[in-house]
Amino acid sequence: MRLLISGGGTGGHIYPALALIKRLKERHQLDAVLYVGTKKGLEADIVTKAGIPFETIEIQGFRRKLTTENITTINKFRKSLGRAKTLIQEFQPDIVIGTGGYVCAPVCYEASRLHIPTMIHEQNSVAGLSNKFLAHFVDRVAYVFPEVAHQFSEQKKLVQTGNPRAQEVSTLKPQGILSTLGMNSDLRTLLIVGGSRGAEPLNKAVIAALPELSEKSYQVLFITGRALYDNVRENIGSLAEKPNIKVLPYLDNLSQLLPEISVLCGRSGATTLAEITALGIPSILIPSPYVTHDHQNKNADYLVKSSAAVLLPEVELNGRSLVAAADHILLDSEVWQRMHMAALSLATPDASDKMISEMLSLIRQYHH
């Protein structure tokens, strides 16, 4: 299979694409791959580091307010269609996949005009603008959360596959990373993380909670975010030296650590939720209120309703509420076990295989 895949802007659009590529390679079904992104997005760094052939298109998103900047956006979109068409004609893909972000729009749109099989993947519980636009033109719309299905008018195109990242993570085993960090691999572990850049409101709450957390029978691994690390260390002083507390700026192999984690406390991005449900990790979710259409809150709601997570809105986040949520899960084995099983019940351990099955079906249809 010759696969052209496009997704950009955030890790939530990139990691599912990489997981799908990896699974195709494992199944020996990938003859060639080309990833199309932007120079400015995270994909430029992540995809090239993964050793995947990478090409770029210049495009930007529409402003939500009326502004002259949108004229520039329209002009860039027109140019991007020509660039997308050239890349597609040169690469000659069997199928084109879009995993979200503005860069997908010209790529998938041009592929549909060139009568090449097309599929988009929606990871969140609120459909992105690009995917809503593309749903009218592509052949399949794959999705994760049941709540998003009604947001697409093209119901016949819909197929619930789950997130390919889940299948990739579901096979991970403990690797003794906690031990290498100087932590006790026999203790229940709370991982607190606000992303690679960190989340200041979360960090403030953890700083307030650390005196109490340092006395608990469980241990805490606190990932501050690189930019905020020095500030956190200044504020917590000797608490960073407590035997059950570990404070780090970031861990590049964070997903490899997940099989050793008992509870995750953090944001509710699509990739995070795919990973923790794949491994049955109970969670304390603090949705970011700064994302488009409040989609993190709606993502979290899916896990909370299924009793796989505890919701802690940012407006209610402080040291006391954080400790209470952690104690509720980590100090009660029955609560932890119920949440563990609830999380596993939401997992999609065959998500990549489901997507590949749909892809192969589309290719066959076109060849007939």
Nearest to 262 by CA among 313, 228, 305, 217: 217
Distance from the Cα of residue 315 to its chain's centroid: 23
12 is in an annotated binding site: yes
CA distance 172 to 22: 14
DSSP assignment of 292-321, as one string? GGGHHHHHHHHHHHTTSEEE--GGG-SHHH
Question: Does residue 82 have a known ligand-binding role?
Answer: no
* Phi/psi of residue 220, nearest 5 degrees: -125, 125
Distance CA 283, CA 204 (A): 19
The annotation status of 124 as a binding-site residue, yes or no, is yes
The two tokens of residue 68 are 């002259």
123 annotated as ligand-binding = no
DSSP string, 124-156: SSS--HHHHHHTTTSSEEEES-GGGGGG-S-GG
The reply to whether 365 sits in an annotated binding site is no
10 is in an annotated binding site: yes
Q: What are phi and psi of 182, to 5 degrees?
A: 80, 20
Mark the binding-site residues for UDP-N-acetyl-alpha-D-glucosamine, compressed into ranges.
10-12, 124, 196, 296
Mark the binding-site residues, compressed into ranges.
10-12, 124, 196, 296
